Structure 1
């Protein structure tokens, strides 16, 4: 089984409840087990600031799904929770589920990039990920803890401990 890290975010329709519902839905995925989850964090939105703040978390999964099967499953969960995909990036959303890492895979195609293309600059990914995997080393050999020193906290706050 592979170990995958998933970033969760929501800023519409009771964001904390959306994250909790997504966590529950992930526990129902075939051939997949939730093995760790971070606290919930509050973060400022990327891009347009005329939207509500986000609630974010990161989880670790053990899965025998392929990366694309996992992506399909996560996108189904997003749709079931009211996600509407729009052309605009970084707009408000009920639920956003991103594959951050999938074992030591380094991969990119038209649907998926692993490691996630923006994870190194996103405080709402780095800090929750550090909480659940402080010894993690990225596929390129960079210790996750090194990214903490180059990633501004940018107003990130812990909302609840797990």
Structure 2
């Protein structure tokens, strides 16, 4: 089993329900076991500001799926939720699932970059991740706490009473 962390985000079609449903879908992944889910967080959108705020969270799971097979499974969950991939980056979306970390591996293929390429600068990823694994060290040896120290939580709001069941 490999320990993985997945970021979840939504700002369309009842985002809280979308993220909660995605947690349930992750729980049902084959060859995998969902271990924990962070609280939900509200964050301002990246890029175009003329869209609703996002609801974000992080899931921790163990899996025997290989990285690209896990990516395929995540993209399948997105598609079943109604996500349509568009050329516009950082636009509104029903559901976004990003593979943040896959064990201690560094992966750089045309389809997949792990650790996720901008996670170090995204409070809506780092703070839920720290909720699940405060003592985590990145594959390059950087402690998660150092990334948190360099990434203020400005504008990030933890929603109370919204932790999903892991």
Distance 1:70 1:160 in 2: 30
Alpha-carbon offset, residue 160 of structure 1? 2.9
Question: Which consecutive unaligned segments of at least 5 residues does structure 1 have?
Answer: none
Report whether the alignment pairs 1:149 with 2:149. yes
Partner of 1:95: 95
Normalised TM-score (structure 1): 0.98
Alignment map for 1:1-162 (pairs within 5 Å): 1-161=1-161, 162=163
SS in 1 for 2:159: strand
Distance 1:87 1:14 in 2: 23
SS in 2 for 1:89: coil
Alpha-carbon offset, residue 152 of structure 1? 2.1
Distance 2:154 2:101 in 1: 23
The C-alpha deviation readout for 1:16-52, integer Å capped at 9, x for no partner, is: 0000000001111100010011000000000000000
Alpha-carbon offset, residue 96 of structure 1? 0.1
SS in 2 for 1:160: coil
Distance 1:160 1:133 in 2: 19
Note if contact 1:130-1:144 (Cα within 8 Å) is conserved in structure 2.
yes
| Pairwise CA RMSD | 0.7
The C-alpha deviation readout for 1:55-81, integer Å capped at 9, x for no partner, is: 000010100000000000000000000
Alpha-carbon offset, residue 107 of structure 1? 1.0
Alpha-carbon offset, residue 3 of structure 1? 0.5
Distance 2:4 2:134 in 1: 15
The total of aligned residue pairs comes to 162
Question: Which consecutive unaligned segments of at least 5 residues does structure 2 have?
Answer: none
SS in 1 for 2:124: helix
Note if contact 1:44-1:154 (Cα within 8 Å) is conserved in structure 2.
no
